[in-house]
Amino acid sequence: MSGIVCAIRGGPESQSPIRHAIQLAQETGETIYFVFVVNLDFMTMTASSRTHILSDQMRQMGEFILLAAQDQAMQEGVQATGSVRHGNVSEEIIALCQEIEADYVILGRPRADDQPNEFDIARLESFIGQLELQTNTRVVLADRGEPA
């Protein structure tokens, strides 16, 4: 197996990684594996006991976001699938790369503004190092998309 892993959350920030993934898939002929990771850490300080309700709703929302990305890819003539996973974002991306023996992983660049983001630059560099160490995947950083 091989393919291109593209981790997205949805929103305008994800457009750039999606476009990169589509372009790369067109060049290589590989399948895109869009991945959305459900992480409910934000509930820990407010409504931690309600995570059971939200988990399923977030999965459905993630599937919908991935479906929109798949739809976009297929309109460009590219084969794409989607996968919603639960847990730590870094660990889940690495796990998917290992499972499908991905050739590429497309990540968005961190935002420079004060908006919350999974990775700041230091964490991203650390994650890329970890990814390359544990998998044989090449990391491609996509430029930022249009701000929300």
Positions that interact with another protein (CB under 8 A): 8-14, 38-40, 42-50, 52-54, 57-58, 60-61, 63-65, 67-68, 71, 114-116, 148
- Residue with smaller CB distance to another protein, 6 or 100: 6
CB of 148 to another protein, least distance (A): 6
Please state whether beta strands 104-108 and 80-86 pair in parallel, antiparallel, or not at all (unpaired). Answer: unpaired
Residue 121 CB coordination number (10 Å): 11
**DSSP string covering 118-144:** S--HHHHHHHHHHHHHHS-PEEEEEPP
CB of 2 to another protein, least distance (A): 26
- Residue with smaller CB distance to another protein, 3 or 62: 62
Q: Exposed/middle/buried for 25, CB within 10 Å: 0-12, 13-18, 19+?
A: buried
- Residue with smaller CB distance to another protein, 68 or 98: 68
